Structure 1
Amino acid sequence: MKKETPVRKPGSERRVCTMNTDELIVIILMAGVLHLLGVTMVIRNAINQSKLTDRLAELTDEVRMLRRELAREKAQIIDKRV
């Protein structure tokens, strides 16, 4: 017994994914941008939650205060010499 193949209607052919190379490039670029955005968010979050960042901010403020004090003392020393 032979199996009969069903007769297909016109336009009902099976289609294999026919994606243009332009569409593929756009999809790859979008995936790359999303991946880069995700990695950036993870790294940024890690930096923001780091204790080292807080310590660096404190150290920077302290250095600024010391510079101001040194600038005031230099002005007073110059006034005393004159």
Structure 2
Amino acid sequence: MKPGIRPAHRPVVFRDKAADLASPTRSTMTGDRTVTWEDGTTYPMADVEISSASHPFHTGTARVLDTVGRVERFERRYGRGEAR
């Protein structure tokens, strides 16, 4: 592989704004804001809108849609389609 074409990996703290949870990891992202972590080191911080801490699938708050009722309502309204 050619030298110098891979982006530099550096420690970054990702913060989930919805769950107010932060976790340090390594990434190629850079951020304008910084945060001082528990170990006293200053890291760049990237805000994310949703993560596994706040996603409905992972938290168990996902809703199941009534798709059968929707299909029946569509067929009542527009009739059953003819077979092709």
Report the TM-score when normalising by structure 2. 0.31
Higher relative contact order (CA 8 A, sep 6+): 2
Whichever of the two has the greater Rg, that structure is 1
Report the TM-score when normalising by structure 1. 0.32
